[in-house]
Structures are given as C-alpha cells and as structure tokens.
C-alpha cells in the first residue's frame, strides 16, 4: 500500500523523552480539536480531544493544549515509547445544524529512537 508520511515534518526523539507535536489551525469557529495517531497502513486512531472553550486536557501520558489567541494546538506525549512512532494529525471539528465537518491538518511524523 501507499506509504503516508513522505515529505511530512518529522520529530525525532529518544525513547523516554517527552515529545511535543504542534499544529496551527485556521477556523476560529471550530468546536472541537482532536489528535489522531496513524500507523503505517492503518486508519487514524483517536488519541484525545479538547473543546474550544478549554485550554488544556490530560489523558494517559498525553496532554493537549489549545491557544485560541494564536490558533495553535499542541500534543505532549510523556515518556515517549517506540510504539508511539507514527504520524500524528490534528483535526478541527465544526458542527452546526445538520453539519458535522472534520477537517485534518497535514501531520507530523514522530520517530522514536530506542
């Protein structure tokens, strides 16, 4: 199958270090922001989301930060493991009436060095 991740921004980290993946979004009217992990040859998997009226949300080993002033979203992964190696996408979810639109960003390739 196709290999996704070519020509993507790449973040290379050592196993055990913390990772920070950044994303700039465009629509200030988005209601939710979501981070997905995509491993080679698979569909995106949900990691964590955050409502637009929040600025921080924590999950297991992951934290999402939202800065609406500069339209910036980040994903922090604590104690990065080799299994975290994948492409990470941020996505904006906007709804209103009969519309639910999920729009993806370009993605970042996270490479974890053992």
Partner 1 sequence: NAGVTQTPKFQVLKTGQSMTLQCAQDMNHEYMSWYRQDPGMGLRLIHYSVGAGITDQGEVPNGYNVSRSTTEDFPLRLLSAAPSQTSVYFCASSYTHLTGVISGNTIYFGEGSWLTVV
> 85 in helix, strand or coil?
coil
18-47 positions binding partner 1, by CB under 8 A = 31-32, 34, 41-46
- Which of these segments, 11-19, 67-75, 76-84, 92-100, binds partner 1 (CB under 8 A)? 92-100
User: Is residue 105 close enough to count as binding partner 1 by CB under 8 A?
Assistant: yes
Nearest distance, CB of residue 112 and partner 1, angstroms? 20
Those residues whose C-beta lies under 8 Å from the C-beta of residue 44, and which sit 6 or more positions away, are: 36, 37, 38, 89
Name the helix (H) or strand (E) containing 57: strand 56-58
Distance CA 92, CA 103 (A): 5
Kindly list the residues in this chain that would bind partner 1 in the complex (CB under 8 A): 1-8, 31-32, 34, 41-46, 48-49, 89, 91, 93, 95, 97-107
């Amino acid at each position: 199958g196709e290999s996704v991740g070519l020509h993507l921004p790449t973040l290379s980290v050592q196993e055990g270090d913390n990772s920070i993946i950044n994303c700039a979004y465009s629509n200030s009217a988005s209601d939710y922001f979501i981070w997905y992990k995509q491993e080679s040859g698979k569909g995106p998997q949900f990691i964590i989301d955050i409502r637009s009226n929040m600025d921080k949300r924590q999950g297991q080993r992951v934290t999402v930060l939202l800065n609406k002033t500069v339209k910036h979203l980040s994903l922090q992964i604590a104690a990065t493991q080799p299994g975290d190696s994948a492409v990470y996408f941020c996505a904006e979810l906007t709804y209103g009436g009969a519309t639910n639109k999920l729009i993806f960003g370009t993605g970042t390739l996270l490479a974890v060095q053992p």
